């Protein structure tokens, strides 16, 4: 009887041990008891199962990404079904800005200002600047537009000198990280071609009513009085530039002067210097404008206003808010 009890107890103990092992993943072969778990009888088969499990987990991760993409697409489609509640105009101004650009840009901006369906404007600027008078006239038109509806500037390429001058008339400036901004300053270039004319035997005869009527002409060098006169004009234009940046960016004059040596910066740097508001893309600028204008799902229309910036189309002005790179690469 005692031996029967011992045998029953042994059977029970083995049963408990096997049950615990199945739950706790203990390998019974280590204690000399063969085990069968899911039909696996060798370590090689266990490795195969582990590999399959890893593959399933990887597939699950991929499926999760696909699911996330589908969810995003669903959200996008849902947003498309939201009734259009206004319009946003994206106006691209690019190239060197001169007097021939003033009229078409003015006409388009005033048309958008009067259009009650347009809730705001993204001013897409890609310009190294241009003539002082042309830039200041266009700046006044951007300010006029901004008095009626929100304007967000976007810079994906270059907004230097006069291009940046225009950007500060907007509510906010969104820039790509690799964009080029800055070049706060004024430039005047005088070409003294007197030696060139002598070399080719060209004689220039000038009849004028006053001593300074041909100020800056290439057929004569600048006098000391000429230089002082030009410096005064440049300083006046420079003071105006500092003022509009200070006003538009809500910075002190002293702060603006720190960045007014004519240098340019990347979009990321411009944001750190408070010369721009945020790094982003054109879509970022549109989203920013949607929030400012209170538009949830507006229709977006695109306009482009500019000439090709070629010399033949330029009515060149001597006094310029224009970025002039010091290094140029020419093909031989």
**pLDDT of 328 above 50:** no
Q: What is the DSSP letter of 2?
A: H
Strands 129-131, 320-322: parallel, antiparallel or unpaired by DSSP?
Answer: antiparallel
Per-residue pLDDT reduced to its tens digit, 314-326: 444 566 777 765 4
Per-residue pLDDT reduced to its tens digit, 149-194: 999 999 999 999 999 999 999 999 999 999 999 999 999 888 889 9
* Residue ranges in the chain assigned as alpha helix (H): 2-24, 43-80, 99-114, 132-148, 162-167, 194-199, 224-249, 253-257, 267-272, 282-293
Q: What is the mean pLDDT of residues 294-300?
A: 89
Distance in angstroms (rounded) separating the CA atoms of residues 283 and 124: 11
Q: Which of 5-9, 42-46, 229-233, 328-332 has the lowest mean pLDDT?
A: 328-332
Q: Can you spell out the DSSP letters for 37-68?
A: BTTB-SHHHHHHHHHHHHHHHHHHHHHHHHHH
Q: Is the dihedral of CA 235, 127, 99, 326 positive or negative?
A: positive
Q: What is the mean pLDDT of residues 35-63?
A: 57
Count of beta carbons in the 10 Å neighbourhood of residue 95 = 19
If pLDDT is split at 50, 70 and 90, which confidence band does 286 have? very high
Per-residue pLDDT reduced to its tens digit, 209-258: 988 888 888 899 999 999 999 999 999 999 999 999 999 999 999 999 99
Question: What would the CATH number be for the domain defined by 86-322?
Answer: 3.90.226.10
Per-residue pLDDT reduced to its tens digit, 87-131: 999 999 989 999 889 999 999 999 999 999 999 999 999 999 999
Q: What does the longest C-alpha to C-alpha distance in the chain come to?
A: 142
Q: What is the mean pLDDT of residues 46-52?
A: 62
Question: Residue-wise over 205-239: b if at least 16 C-beta within 10 A, else e?
Answer: eeeeeeeeeebbbebbeeeeebeeebeeebeebee
Distance in angstroms (rounded) separating the CA atoms of residues 279 and 26: 56
Spans of all domains in the chain: 1-35, 38-81, 86-322
If pLDDT is split at 50, 70 and 90, which confidence band does 303 have? very high
Residue-level pLDDT at 331:
45
Q: Which of 127, 149, 161, 176 is catalytic?
A: 161
**pLDDT of 29 above 60:** no
Q: Of the candidates 281, 306, 283, 288, which has an alpha carbon nearest to the alpha carbon of residue 120?
A: 288
Per-residue pLDDT reduced to its tens digit, 197-213: 899 999 989 999 988 88
Distance in angstroms (rounded) separating the CA atoms of residues 252 and 249: 9
Please indicate whether residue 42 is annotated as part of the active site.
no
Helices (H) and strands (E) in the chain, counts: 10, 10
Q: Which of 65, 69, 111, 213 is catalytic?
A: 213
Please indicate whether residue 299 is annotated as part of the active site.
no
| pTM flag (> 0.75) | no
Per-residue pLDDT reduced to its tens digit, 130-145: 999 999 999 999 999 9
Count of beta carbons in the 10 Å neighbourhood of residue 58 = 10
**pLDDT of 39 above 50:** no
Distance in angstroms (rounded) separating the CA atoms of residues 210 and 275: 44
């Amino acid at each position: 009887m005692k031996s029967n009890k011992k045998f029953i107890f042994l059977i029970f103990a083995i049963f408990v041990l096997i049950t615990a092992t199945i739950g706790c993943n203990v390998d019974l072969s280590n204690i000399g008891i063969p085990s069968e778990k899911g039909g696996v009888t060798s370590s090689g088969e266990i490795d195969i199962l582990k590999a399959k499990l890893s593959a399933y987990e990887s597939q699950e991760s991929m499926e999760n990404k696909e699911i996330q993409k589908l969810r995003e697409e669903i959200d996008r489609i849902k947003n498309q079904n939201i009734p259009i509640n206004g319009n946003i105009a994206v106006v691209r101004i690019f190239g060197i800005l001169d007097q021939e650009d003033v009229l078409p840009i003015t006409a388009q901006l005033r048309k958008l200002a009067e259009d009650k369906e347009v809730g705001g404007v993204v001013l897409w600027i890609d310009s190294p600047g241009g003539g002082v008078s042309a830039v200041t006239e266009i700046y006044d038109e951007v300010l006029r537009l901004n008095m009626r509806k929100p304007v967000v500037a976007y810079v994906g390429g270059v907004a230097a000198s006069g291009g940046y001058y225009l950007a500060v008339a907007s509510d906010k400036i969104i820039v790509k990280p690799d964009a080029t901004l800055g070049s706060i300053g004024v430039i005047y270039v005088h070409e003294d071609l007197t030696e060139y004319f002598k070399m080719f035997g060209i004689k220039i005869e000038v009849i004028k009513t006053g001593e300074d009527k041909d100020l800056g002409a290439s057929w004569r060098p600048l006098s000391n009085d000429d230089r002082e006169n030009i410096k005064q004009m440049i300083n006046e234009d420079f003071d105006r530039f500092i003022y509009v940046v200070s006003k538009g960016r809500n910075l002190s004059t002293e702060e603006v002067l720190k960045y007014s040596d004519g240098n340019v910066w990347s979009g990321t740097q411009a944001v750190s210097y408070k010369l721009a508001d945020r790094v982003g893309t054109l879509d970022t600028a549109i989203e920013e404008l949607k929030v400012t204008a209170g538009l949830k799902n507006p229709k977006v229309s695109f306009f482009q206003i500019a000439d090709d910036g070629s010399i033949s189309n330029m009515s060149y002005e001597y006094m310029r808010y224009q970025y002039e790179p010091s290094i140029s690469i020419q093909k031989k």
